[in-house]
């Protein structure tokens, strides 16, 4: 069937739009901003079957592979041990996560590392003061469409944290995208949108990213002394020798084998003697008797961690999130310090 004259005109009009109007839109974005695409990555989180469950965006802030994104982007990876997190670079290369560096749940920021050297990084404009009406550019991966460039303006700067309200779209998959000024400097990290609100999108100032990075570079305390379980409130007398404590704990278990607390005390005694596998079994027995025994879950998680079983330690972290959030956060910090 031959194409009618009217249909031909429509096709020509579409071609005109593709050839002239779209490039003209990109012409508004300075090359110094477009060149930042090399430092923007796409984040994929897959379940144990390899099915994609989350996509997001991040950007490289250190040439050795440290990447910034939103905490909510990687939270599913933290919650599900079988899931995997992969980073796709602008050049098509894939990298698995190597280490979670730090995170700030309140400001929705997370830093993690992939293996890399001399990678292209963005420039963080930590002292930059955004101005209402100023032009900005967001580079992200909405719906998995990698390194998509969107422009807009700063609608306002709100609240004590200096949240940057922007008109550039932040669709699903764009969370964690860098927000650039027209000098090519990253001034914010796109974090959320208001459902149903046209052009109501927000970014966290990059000073919070820099603060988190600086905090992660501070010297860490040695783990072992901090892992010692706290003594019971009644333990006001000088602590017994570890071997004596172990014998006493064993005697208490024989006397009261159905009390979770006796098995927990046995676990503590084993732990203090660096007998971590025995401690694990004692903590497990305490939990079999009393499943919501937060102290036993914490001791179990720490023991797993010392034996380099991070997966099992994370399982205990997930349980503690429901039982005792404070202990859960403490265990999580040990896992990733």
* 185-200: pLDDT as tens digits: 999 999 876 555 455 7
Within a domain: residue 62? Answer: yes
Domain that holds residue 142: 135-216
Mean residue pLDDT of the chain comes to 82
For range 244-251, the mean pLDDT? 88
For residue 218, pLDDT beyond 90: no
Between 29 and 89, where is the model more confident?
89
Q: Of the residues 108, 150, 151, 263, which is catalytic? A: 108
Is the same domain home to 288 and 329?
yes
331 and 234, same structural domain? Answer: yes
Q: Is 281 in the same domain as 324?
A: yes
Catalytic residue flag (residue 141): no
Q: Where does the pLDDT of residue 173 fall: very low under 50, low under 70, confident under 90, or very high at 90 and above?
A: confident
Same domain for 231 and 319, yes or no, is yes
Asked about 171 being catalytic, the answer comes back as no
Lookup: tokens for 59: 């950007």
The angle subtended at Cα 165 by Cα 161 and Cα 171, nearest 5°, is 115
Catalytic pick among 72, 75, 83, 171: 72
Tell whether 5 is covered by a domain: no
**Per-residue pLDDT at 80 exceeds 80:** no
Quote the pTM value. Answer: 0.62
228 φ, ψ (degrees, to nearest 5): -60, 125
Position 97 in a domain:
yes
Query: Which of 25-34, 161-170, 200-209, 269-278 is predicted with the least confidence, judged by mean pLDDT?
Result: 25-34
Does residue 72 have an active-site annotation?
yes
Active-site hit among 141, 150, 174, 175: 175
Tally of domains in the chain: 3
Q: How far apart are CA 138 and CA 122, in angstroms?
A: 13
Within a domain: residue 4? no
Beta strand residue intervals within 47-185, DSSP E: 52-62, 66-69, 84-88, 94-96, 99-104, 109-113, 135-140, 148-158, 163-166, 178-181
Q: How far apart are CA 189 and CA 94, in angstroms?
A: 22
- The token duo for 31 is 């090359």
Residues 70, 143: Cα–Cα separation, whole Å = 16
| CATH number of residue 75's parent domain | 2.40.10.10
Q: How far apart are the first and last CA of the chain?
A: 68
Task: Please indicate, yes or no, if residue 130 is contained in any of the structural domains.
Answer: no
């Amino acid at each position: 069937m031959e194409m009618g004259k009217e249909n031909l005109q429509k096709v020509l009009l579409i071609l005109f739009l593709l050839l002239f109007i779209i490039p003209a839109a990109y012409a508004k974005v300075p090359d110094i901003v477009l060149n930042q695409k090399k430092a923007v990555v796409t984040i994929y989180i897959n379940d144990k079957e390899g099915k994609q469950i989350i996509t997001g965006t991040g950007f490289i802030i250190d040439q050795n592979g440290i990447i910034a994104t939103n905490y909510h982007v990687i939270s599913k990876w933290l919650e599900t041990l079988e899931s995997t997190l992969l980073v796709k670079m602008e050049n098509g290369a894939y990298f698995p996560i190597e280490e979670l560096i730090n995170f700030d749940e309140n400001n929705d920021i997370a830093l993690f590392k992939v293996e890399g050297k001399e990678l292209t990084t963005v420039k963080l404009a930590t002292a930059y003061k955004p101005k209402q009406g100023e032009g900005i550019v967001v580079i992200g991966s909405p719906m998995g469409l990698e390194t998509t460039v969107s422009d807009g303006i700063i609608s306002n700067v709100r609240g004590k944290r200096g949240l940057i309200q922007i008109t550039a779209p932040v669709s699903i998959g764009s969370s964690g995208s860098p927000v650039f000024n027209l000098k090519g400097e990253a001034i914010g990290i796109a974090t959320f949108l208001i459902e149903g609100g046209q052009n109501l999108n927000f970014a966290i100032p990059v000073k919070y990213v820099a603060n988190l990075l600086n905090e992660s570079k501070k010297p860490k305390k040695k783990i072992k002394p901090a892992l010692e379980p706290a003594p019971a409130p009644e333990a006001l007398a000088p602590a017994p020798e570890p071997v004596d404590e172990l014998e006493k704990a064993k005697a208490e278990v024989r006397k009261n084998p159905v009390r979770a607390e006796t098995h927990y005390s046995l676990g503590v005694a084993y732990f203090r003697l660096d007998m971590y596998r025995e401690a694990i079994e004692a903590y497990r027995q305490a939990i079999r008797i009393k499943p919501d025994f937060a102290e036993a879950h914490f001791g179990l998680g720490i023991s797993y961690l010392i034996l380099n079983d991070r997966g099992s330690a994370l399982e205990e972290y997930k349980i503690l999130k429901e039982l005792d959030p404070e202990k859960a956060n403490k265990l999580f910090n040990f896992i990733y310090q």
